[in-house]
Amino acid sequence: MFKYCLWLVVNDQKVIEQNKKIAELLNTKPFIPHITINHSMPTPMFYSGIHRPNNIYFVDQPTASTSFVRDEDNNMRLFHAIEQKVYVPYFKDVEAHMSLAYRIDGEPFTLQDLMRIPILGLDLINYKVQKKNLKIKNASCWDDNPEKWYIIT
Protein backbone atom coordinates (compact mmCIF):
# COMPACT_ATOMS: atom_id res chain seq x y z
CA MET A 1 0.00 0.00 0.00
CA PHE A 2 2.54 2.63 1.14
CA LYS A 3 5.67 0.50 0.69
CA TYR A 4 8.24 1.77 3.21
CA CYS A 5 7.58 4.79 5.40
CA LEU A 6 9.71 7.01 7.58
CA TRP A 7 7.90 7.64 10.84
CA LEU A 8 8.44 9.57 13.99
CA VAL A 9 7.02 6.97 16.36
CA VAL A 10 5.19 8.59 19.28
CA ASN A 11 5.50 6.78 22.60
CA ASP A 12 3.52 9.26 24.67
CA GLN A 13 0.82 7.85 26.95
CA LYS A 14 -1.71 10.60 26.20
CA VAL A 15 -1.32 10.12 22.44
CA ILE A 16 -1.50 6.32 22.73
CA GLU A 17 -4.72 6.53 24.78
CA GLN A 18 -6.17 9.10 22.39
CA ASN A 19 -5.57 6.83 19.39
CA LYS A 20 -7.19 3.85 21.15
CA LYS A 21 -10.26 5.93 22.04
CA ILE A 22 -10.60 7.29 18.49
CA ALA A 23 -10.39 3.75 17.05
CA GLU A 24 -13.13 2.66 19.45
CA LEU A 25 -15.25 5.76 18.75
CA LEU A 26 -15.05 5.41 14.95
CA ASN A 27 -15.01 1.59 14.87
CA THR A 28 -11.59 1.46 13.17
CA LYS A 29 -8.50 -0.64 13.80
CA PRO A 30 -5.84 0.68 16.19
CA PHE A 31 -2.27 1.08 14.93
CA ILE A 32 1.15 2.29 16.07
CA PRO A 33 0.90 6.03 16.84
CA HIS A 34 3.19 7.79 14.39
CA ILE A 35 3.88 10.97 12.50
CA THR A 36 4.48 10.34 8.83
CA ILE A 37 7.61 12.07 7.55
CA ASN A 38 7.82 10.19 4.24
CA HIS A 39 5.92 7.32 2.62
CA SER A 40 5.79 5.20 -0.53
CA MET A 41 9.56 4.73 -0.52
CA PRO A 42 10.81 1.72 -2.54
CA THR A 43 13.43 0.94 0.13
CA PRO A 44 13.91 1.93 3.79
CA MET A 45 15.57 5.31 4.28
CA PHE A 46 18.99 5.71 5.85
CA TYR A 47 18.32 8.23 8.61
CA SER A 48 21.31 8.26 10.96
CA GLY A 49 22.01 11.93 10.16
CA ILE A 50 18.43 13.05 10.79
CA HIS A 51 17.96 14.91 14.04
CA ARG A 52 15.19 13.88 16.36
CA PRO A 53 13.29 17.05 17.29
CA ASN A 54 13.23 18.29 20.89
CA ASN A 55 9.45 18.25 20.72
CA ILE A 56 6.54 18.37 18.30
CA TYR A 57 3.29 20.33 18.43
CA PHE A 58 -0.14 19.38 17.16
CA VAL A 59 -1.75 22.17 15.14
CA ASP A 60 -5.17 22.76 13.59
CA GLN A 61 -8.22 20.54 13.86
CA PRO A 62 -8.17 16.99 12.49
CA THR A 63 -9.08 16.68 8.80
CA ALA A 64 -10.43 13.82 6.70
CA SER A 65 -9.19 12.78 3.29
CA THR A 66 -9.71 10.05 0.73
CA SER A 67 -7.14 8.99 -1.83
CA PHE A 68 -6.54 6.20 -4.28
CA VAL A 69 -3.66 3.87 -3.46
CA ARG A 70 -2.40 0.62 -4.91
CA ASP A 71 -2.22 -2.49 -2.77
CA GLU A 72 0.56 -5.07 -3.00
CA ASP A 73 -1.30 -6.78 -5.88
CA ASN A 74 -1.37 -3.44 -7.73
CA ASN A 75 -5.15 -3.09 -7.33
CA MET A 76 -6.57 0.39 -6.77
CA ARG A 77 -8.08 0.89 -3.30
CA LEU A 78 -9.75 3.78 -1.51
CA PHE A 79 -7.79 4.94 1.51
CA HIS A 80 -9.72 7.08 4.00
CA ALA A 81 -7.83 8.83 6.76
CA ILE A 82 -8.28 11.28 9.60
CA GLU A 83 -5.09 13.21 10.23
CA GLN A 84 -3.92 16.07 12.40
CA LYS A 85 -1.17 18.40 11.23
CA VAL A 86 1.97 18.45 13.30
CA TYR A 87 4.76 20.98 13.47
CA VAL A 88 8.07 19.10 13.54
CA PRO A 89 11.29 21.12 13.86
CA TYR A 90 13.99 19.88 11.42
CA PHE A 91 11.21 18.84 9.03
CA LYS A 92 9.82 22.30 8.28
CA ASP A 93 9.41 21.58 4.56
CA VAL A 94 7.48 18.37 5.20
CA GLU A 95 3.72 18.41 5.58
CA ALA A 96 3.92 16.15 8.61
CA HIS A 97 0.76 14.70 10.09
CA MET A 98 -0.31 12.37 12.84
CA SER A 99 -2.64 9.66 11.61
CA LEU A 100 -5.68 9.23 13.85
CA ALA A 101 -7.86 6.73 11.96
CA TYR A 102 -7.86 4.71 8.73
CA ARG A 103 -10.44 2.92 6.62
CA ILE A 104 -9.65 0.92 3.50
CA ASP A 105 -12.45 1.01 0.94
CA GLY A 106 -15.81 1.29 2.77
CA GLU A 107 -17.34 4.60 3.79
CA PRO A 108 -15.30 7.80 3.98
CA PHE A 109 -15.09 9.68 7.26
CA THR A 110 -17.77 12.33 7.65
CA LEU A 111 -17.90 15.79 9.16
CA GLN A 112 -19.81 14.22 12.06
CA ASP A 113 -16.89 11.83 12.65
CA LEU A 114 -14.49 14.78 12.74
CA MET A 115 -16.71 16.75 15.09
CA ARG A 116 -16.89 13.88 17.59
CA ILE A 117 -13.12 13.96 18.22
CA PRO A 118 -12.76 17.41 19.87
CA ILE A 119 -16.16 17.18 21.56
CA LEU A 120 -14.89 14.16 23.47
CA GLY A 121 -11.67 15.99 24.32
CA LEU A 122 -9.60 13.69 22.15
CA ASP A 123 -7.90 16.36 20.06
CA LEU A 124 -4.36 17.38 20.90
CA ILE A 125 -4.21 20.96 19.63
CA ASN A 126 -1.17 22.69 21.16
CA TYR A 127 -0.18 19.49 22.97
CA LYS A 128 3.60 19.06 23.07
CA VAL A 129 5.31 15.67 22.83
CA GLN A 130 8.85 15.68 24.19
CA LYS A 131 11.98 14.28 22.53
CA LYS A 132 12.25 11.32 24.90
CA ASN A 133 8.90 10.07 23.53
CA LEU A 134 9.87 10.33 19.83
CA LYS A 135 11.88 7.84 17.79
CA ILE A 136 12.72 8.00 14.07
CA LYS A 137 11.96 4.61 12.51
CA ASN A 138 11.40 2.96 9.16
CA ALA A 139 8.18 1.00 8.85
CA SER A 140 6.95 -1.63 6.45
CA CYS A 141 3.56 -0.41 5.24
CA TRP A 142 2.99 -2.80 2.34
CA ASP A 143 -0.09 -4.50 3.77
CA ASP A 144 -3.52 -3.00 3.18
CA ASN A 145 -4.33 -3.62 6.84
CA PRO A 146 -2.69 -0.87 8.97
CA GLU A 147 -2.68 -3.28 11.94
CA LYS A 148 -0.05 -5.28 10.06
CA TRP A 149 2.31 -2.34 9.46
CA TYR A 150 5.42 -2.78 11.54
CA ILE A 151 8.67 -1.07 12.46
CA ILE A 152 11.73 -2.53 10.77
CA THR A 153 14.58 -0.30 12.03
What whole-number distance in Å separates Cα of residue 151 and Cα of residue 78? Answer: 24
Distances from the Cα of 12 to the Cαs of 16, 124, 128, 130, 134, in angstroms? 6, 12, 10, 8, 8
Query: What is the phi/psi pair of residue 3, to 5°?
Result: 55, -120
Provide the whole-model pTM.
0.80
Rounded mean pLDDT of 97-125?
A: 81
Query: In terms of DSSP H, where are the helices of the chain?
Result: 13-26, 111-119
Tens digit of pLDDT for each residue in 34-58? Answer: 988 888 888 888 766 666 777 777 7
Q: Are 10 and 34 in contact (CB under 8 A)?
A: yes
Task: State what percent of residues in the chain have pLDDT above 70.
Answer: 91
Output the pLDDT for position 19: 86
Q: Where are the beta strands (DSSP E) in 42-133?
A: 55-58, 63-70, 76-87, 97-104, 128-130
Rounded mean pLDDT of 118-142?
A: 78
Residue 75 clears pLDDT 60, i.e. is over it: yes
Distances from the Cα of 57 to the Cαs of 7, 35, 54, 135, in angstroms? 15, 11, 10, 15
